[in-house]
Amino acid sequence: MKKWFIAGIIFLFGGMVEVQAVMQQQGDDPDDPVLPTVINIVSTPDTPRLGDTFDVVFSTPEAEGIYYVEAEIGFNPMAFELTGLQPGALFGTDALYVGNYNAANSIGFSITSTGVGLSGQGDLFVLNFRIPETASAGSYNLSVNNFQVRDADGNLLESETPDAVNVTIRSYISWVNLQSPAMASIEYGFSVNVEARVIVPDITSVSGANSDIGAWIGVSAEGGDPAQWEESAWLPAEYTQRTGTAHVYRRSIGQNLPAGTWYLASRFNYEDEDYYYGGYSDEGGGFWDGETYVSGVLIVNEPGKMAVVEWNFNDDSRIASRGIFANLQREFSLVGANFTGFVTGSPGRAATSSGWNGNDPELQKYWMADFSTTGLNDLQLSYKMKSSGTGPRDFMLQSSLDSETWTDLLDEPLQLTDNFNHTSIQDYVLPSVLHDQPSVYLRWLLVSDRRVSESEDPISTTGSSQIDEVRITGRPLLAQFPSVWLVTAERNLRRYRWKRNRESIRSASCRT
């Protein structure tokens, strides 16, 4: 009688395993040749991760008279799913084969040659497996049971079943982002919180900092691919909380930055392995790619520049978020359309509205900001706008000193899209006629009935429009006379009072 012995199995990912299970055929005659049969596992990635596929391949470097093979593969269906099975090249496509689930965690299969017994070398049978996205990281067994080999006469060849093999699915970073800000402007010497998030399956679903996760916020004046930024650009970020299955990290940025434009991104790694870079998008962000997921932008204003007034709507209010004292109670208004509350902005919250349909020159519709610029010059405006697909597209930015006579500030109307980043104005220089005025008005006036989408239909009754991050900055006029002020301070203070109310000077010098 012939006997087959299974010597052992070693499962490795990352390439073909040369010898994983060895079956030795031994005849009654001790001088019969030894014919090894091998079980291989093939996988493309170095380590198995969610979504990866691999093959269990039964093969032999030398066969003689093999006619029929059957076996069971035992596995955890939560960790591995069978996606296919087929005969190997040695049996050929004419072979008869079948596979059936014997239980939820076991697949049985057999293959029969349509010719005589097989001789030579090659693959006998291939099973295709996949690691589902729902699998949890951890160690799992793949085992071969009830392994049988028969010859063309139906003789059963005795064999020893190999031991179970442990396969480890490793935790890894499946998602990162730059949560905020998409764009921010700060005064020289001030800072802004930069937030980023990361998901490591089965790790970040638990609250609390994990020492295996490395987190950084990057700040670069060059922009471009953050993977190319200097190492000095990366500052460690701190874990703050868990939200859903993600961990949240923050870092205060800006206090020591020179004035200018800076680019922001996040960087994460797990267990000191590869770095993953996070970018921003209105939909929540993802791995930085420079197109859909991009770097944030931070503007550090020149020394002496201050927030005249700002509305960021983050507290679900249209009252000014900050500014000089004279502007702290100013309300951002809406005329002609319907204010409907606050929605997700870019970042934080944004004011939203509807009722823009039926454009009528006699019934004007517009967003409006009014504020004081007393004692201030060098004014600049920043804001973000967008509309829904059926919402208003065309707006003209205008200014006024009395809210009655208006002047266009642009050569062509603004054309909104459904994305804040596409209609984002940063540091637009306002005309000098608005400097040092007790009352200044800016409005975004609807000038057509065109909707954002390509449709020729007019704006719908439910079409919406949002505005966010409205900010006016400026410099105090007093800064124009630094040498005079320093040399004869008292005399020039009296001279300055002749032109300006002292309280106005204090208001203009107030930083919030």
Tens of pLDDT, residues 272-292 = 888 999 999 999 999 999 999
Q: Are residues 326 and 391 in the same domain?
A: yes
pLDDT, residue 24, reads 37
Whether residue 173 contacts residue 271, with contact meaning beta carbons closer than 8 Å, is answered with no
| Across 35-51, average pLDDT | 56
Residue 501 located in a structural domain: no
Most confident of 114-118, 434-438, 481-485: 434-438
The enclosing domain of 292 has a CATH number of 2.60.40.650
Global pTM reads 0.47
Q: What is the DSSP letter of 398?
A: E
pLDDT, residue 59, reads 76
**SS3 at position 339:** strand
**Is the model more confident about 119 or about 341?**
341
Residue 241, pLDDT > 90, answer yes
Q: Are residues 154 and 195 in the same domain?
A: no
The CA–CA distances, whole Å, from 74 to 107, 147, 334 equal: 7, 12, 67
Q: What is the DSSP letter of 258?
A: P
pLDDT, residue 158, reads 58
Tell me which residue of 279, 282, 283 sits closest to 293, measured CA to CA.
Answer: 279
Element (H, E) at 466: strand 465-476
Residue 166, pLDDT > 80, answer no
Q: Are residues 245 and 329 in the same domain?
A: no
Domain boundary among 125, 148, 169: 169
| pLDDT classification of 244: cutoffs 50, 70, 90 | very high
Q: Are residues 142 and 242 in the same domain?
A: no
Residue 5, pLDDT > 50, answer no
Which token pair is 263?
């680019």
Which token pair is 120?
């030579």
The enclosing domain of 418 has a CATH number of 2.60.120.260
Whether residue 107 contacts residue 158, with contact meaning beta carbons closer than 8 Å, is answered with no
Residue 498's contacts (CB-CB under 8 Å, 6 or more residues apart) are none
Please enumerate, as own/partner, the contacts of 204-207 that have beta carbons within 8 Å and a separation of 24 or more.
Answer: 204/242, 204/245, 204/246, 204/247, 205/242, 205/245, 206/242, 207/241, 207/242
Residue 502, pLDDT > 60, answer no
pLDDT, residue 41, reads 54
| Across 37-57, average pLDDT | 65
pLDDT, residue 202, reads 83
**Is the model more confident about 218 or about 455?**
218
Per-residue pLDDT tens digits for 184-223: 988 777 789 999 999 998 899 999 999 999 999 999 999 8
Residue 90 located in a structural domain: yes
Residue 69's contacts (CB-CB under 8 Å, 6 or more residues apart) are 58, 110, 111, 124, 125, 148, 149, 150
pLDDT, residue 186, reads 87
pLDDT, residue 479, reads 40
Sole residue written with tokens 């439910």 = 462
pLDDT, residue 25, reads 38
Partners of residue 400 on adjacent β-strands: 441
Residue 103's contacts (CB-CB under 8 Å, 6 or more residues apart) are none
Residue 499 located in a structural domain: no
pLDDT, residue 171, reads 84
Angle at 447 between CA 445 and CA 453, to 5 degrees: 110
Which token pair is 443?
């409005």
The enclosing domain of 52 has a CATH number of 2.60.40.680
181: preceding bond cis by omega (within 30 degrees): yes
Q: How far apart are CA 400 and CA 237, in angstroms?
A: 45
Q: Are residues 278 and 181 in the same domain?
A: yes
Most confident of 56-60, 83-87, 101-105, 505-509: 83-87
Q: How far apart are CA 412 and CA 419, in angstroms?
A: 20
Q: Are residues 92 and 153 in the same domain?
A: yes
pLDDT, residue 154, reads 86
Per-residue pLDDT tens digits for 395-414: 999 999 999 999 999 999 99
Which token pair is 291?
């197109």
Residue 27's contacts (CB-CB under 8 Å, 6 or more residues apart) are 2
Q: Are residues 154 and 34 in the same domain?
A: yes
- Least confident piece of the model among 245-254, 353-362, 458-467: 353-362
Percent of the chain exceeding pLDDT 90 equals 50
The 3-class SS string of 116-177 reads CCEEEEEEEEEEEEECCCCCCCEEEEEEEEEEEEECCCCCEEECCCCCCEEEEECCCCCEEE
- Least confident piece of the model among 3-17, 71-85, 275-289: 3-17
Domain boundary among 273, 300, 327: 300
Q: How far apart are CA 78 and CA 135, in angstroms?
A: 6
Encoded amino acid at 51, one letter = G
pLDDT, residue 6, reads 30
Q: How far apart are CA 502 and CA 512, in angstroms?
A: 19
Whether residue 109 contacts residue 71, with contact meaning beta carbons closer than 8 Å, is answered with yes
Q: Are residues 83 and 144 in the same domain?
A: yes
Residue 498 located in a structural domain: no
**Is the model more confident about 122 or about 499?**
122
Residue 238 located in a structural domain: yes
Tell me which residue of 467, 192, 246 sits closest to 346, measured CA to CA.
Answer: 467
Whether residue 372 contacts residue 324, with contact meaning beta carbons closer than 8 Å, is answered with yes
Q: Are residues 361 and 458 in the same domain?
A: yes
Encoded amino acid at 330, one letter = R
Residue 505 located in a structural domain: no
Residue 482, pLDDT > 50, answer no
Residue 33, pLDDT > 70, answer no
Whether residue 305 contacts residue 188, with contact meaning beta carbons closer than 8 Å, is answered with yes
In the chain, count of helices (H) and strands (E)?
A: 3, 36
Q: Are residues 336 and 430 in the same domain?
A: yes
The CA–CA distances, whole Å, from 431 to 327, 379, 393, 468 equal: 20, 8, 25, 22
pLDDT, residue 12, reads 34
Residue 192 located in a structural domain: yes
| pLDDT classification of 23: cutoffs 50, 70, 90 | very low
Percent of the chain exceeding pLDDT 70 equals 82
Per-residue pLDDT tens digits for 323-351: 888 998 999 999 999 999 999 998 889 99
Q: Are residues 114 and 244 in the same domain?
A: no
pLDDT, residue 371, reads 97
| pLDDT classification of 389: cutoffs 50, 70, 90 | very high
Q: Which domain holds residue 458?
A: 306-479
**Is the model more confident about 289 or about 494?**
289
Domain boundary among 147, 169, 191: 169
Q: Are residues 200 and 148 in the same domain?
A: no
Total structural domains within the chain: 3
pLDDT, residue 511, reads 36
Most confident of 6-10, 58-62, 310-314: 310-314
Residue 219 located in a structural domain: yes
